[in-house]
Structure 1
Amino acid sequence: MFLVLFGNGVVANVVLPQTKGNDGGWIVIAAGWGIAVFIGAFCANEFSGAHLNPAVTLAMYLADEGFSLVDSGGYIGAQMLGGMAGALLVYVFYREHFRQASDDPDGMLACFSTAPNIRNLPQAFVCEMIGTFALILPIFLLVDPGFSAGAEPAENAPMLGLGSIGLLPVGLLVFGIGLSLGGPTGYAINPARDLGPRLIHALLPINGKQGSDWQYAWVPVLGPLTGAALAVLVNSFL
């Protein structure tokens, strides 16, 4: 919930009209998402080992790091619900500004979910796959039991190592991905971050909105999951 509240919140602040951050630019959005990941991971670390992303959860399961299929399903369900709750809070917070954006349905949708700047779905899939690979493989490689910058995770909580490497480096990693790889698709790199808010966009009675772009919705789901599986495969040879 906090991941999406801060992440989609910075998008709304930059994209929607008559906000203090209007036209703040891509660096503001990328920095906001990096901070969002740090805050979300910090809040979730004690309970789950900082699982915010179904792609990370899938990587844990495929890497045989103590995650059962039932565990994975429960975590992914919680991630989806959290993403939906965060998106709803962003809408409530910026409701008056959404009203002012009634002539910009694409901008409104951008406050919930991602879209490609050049409409080539196979290429967008590749971008999301590589972006998520660039998230998960470094997390595997950065694991260092001697370093910790966040709360200790709950006992026996399955985790990918975020408590070991510290939470701030992961936020910086997402900031870097946004700056370097975010241009083509908006770097969802997280199915719950995109699909959950997209569902909220479809359900909310927002004046002036258009469709939720379901034709594209599979890309920020399958792309990150494929990138996660690729990262696990490469890491198994390292």
Structure 2
Amino acid sequence: MNDSLTLQLVGEFVGTLILILLGDGVVAAVTLKKSKAEGSGWIAIALGWGLAVTLGVYCSAFLSPAHLNPAVTLGMAIAGVFPWSSVIPYMIAQTLGGVVGAIIVWLNYYPHWEETEDSSAILGVFATGPAIRNYFFNFLSEFIGTFVLVFALLAFTRGKFTEGLNPIVVGLLITAIGFSLGGTTGYAINPARDLGPRIAHQILPIANKGESDWAYSWVPILGPLAGGAVGAFLYLLIP
């Protein structure tokens, strides 16, 4: 592994860690008992995740392309703007960043897990879950959300954004997806965002936690990968 790739992997790890720390952090703030932000609702969560993406990109863009998302990495490789040889290392770094970010969220809210008796709410801090469990439509929702994400990110490369403004626009994109499409599944639209924290939920001694719902976990992994791939393929059809 060359030094350049190593630095890029550090960037993807750090950026995804910040993304999960702030993203899962806002969910914890809203849902855990005796949090000062308890009950703030979906608007706080959607805005918080948009800001989490923006800041995760700003914190890592000097080291890597700041994909912070295996579906984005796959889409960029399909679009021909990212080397295939780096796809798997990026995905691993992103997922590990998700694990560590979730562990820090657990530590930050440590006293609140014991106060929160709802195990499904606790899982919801770490991993996504459907409002109505229907695997086909849950997959479709993740597919559509990530299709929009990857297609838009590639379209942005043809615009005239300055480098400094691009992370803000990406954060607005995530916020829009959350507001408009996220109510069905909690909009993972990022396999590392779901898998990394779900692993953390599985291994951590979290008070009052239940099962990690691995039966659903394939949806926020395969749905985003498929949506991102199709988004990139369709982008390639644009002259």
Distance change >3 Å, CA 66–CA 185, structure 1 → 2: closer
Cross-structure match for 2:216: 216
Residue pair 1:53, 1:192 contacting (<8 A) in 2 also: yes
Residue pair 1:44, 1:51 contacting (<8 A) in 2 also: no
Aligned pairs for 1:67-216 (under 5 A) are: 67-69=83-85, 71-101=86-116, 103-144=117-158, 146-150=160-164, 166-216=166-216
Which of residues 54, 78, 93 is equivalent to 1:62?
Answer: 78
**Long gaps (5+) in structure 2:** 1-16
Residue pair 1:128, 1:187 contacting (<8 A) in 2 also: yes
Q: How far off is 1:169 after superposition?
A: 0.2
Cross-structure match for 1:53: 69
For residues 38 and 66 of structure 1, what CA distance do their matches in structure 2 show? Answer: 21
Cross-structure match for 1:12: 28
Cross-structure match for 2:9: none
Residue pair 1:149, 1:168 contacting (<8 A) in 2 also: no
In structure 2, what residue type is equivalent to 1:216? Y
Deviating beyond 4 angstroms after TM superposition, the runs of 4 or more aligned structure 1 residues are: none
TM-score by length of 1: 0.91
- SS of 2:137's partner is helix
2:74 corresponds to 1:29: no
Cα displacement string for residues 155-201 of structure 1 (whole angstroms, at most 9, x for unaligned residues): xxxxxxxxxx6110000000000000010000000000000000000
Residue pair 2:113, 2:208 contacting (<8 A) in 1 also: no
Residue pair 1:79, 1:192 contacting (<8 A) in 2 also: yes
Tell me the matched-pair count: 222
For residues 76 and 42 of structure 1, what CA distance do their matches in structure 2 show? Answer: 19
Cross-structure match for 2:13: none
Cα displacement string for residues 135-169 of structure 1 (whole angstroms, at most 9, x for unaligned residues): 1111111224642243xxxxxxxxxxxxxx61100
Cα displacement string for residues 70-123 of structure 1 (whole angstroms, at most 9, x for unaligned residues): x1111111101110010000000001111101x200000001000001011111
Q: How far off is 1:67 after superposition?
A: 1.1
Identify the structure with the greater helix proportion.
2
Cross-structure match for 1:227: 227
For residues 139 and 82 of structure 2, what CA distance do their matches in structure 1 show? Answer: 29
For residues 60 and 38 of structure 1, what CA distance do their matches in structure 2 show? Answer: 19
Residue pair 1:61, 1:67 contacting (<8 A) in 2 also: yes
For residues 228 and 144 of structure 1, what CA distance do their matches in structure 2 show? Answer: 18
Residue pair 2:73, 2:82 contacting (<8 A) in 1 also: no
Residue pair 1:115, 1:185 contacting (<8 A) in 2 also: yes
Q: How far off is 1:66 after superposition?
A: 3.6
For residues 94 and 109 of structure 1, what CA distance do their matches in structure 2 show? Answer: 14
State the identity as a percent: 47
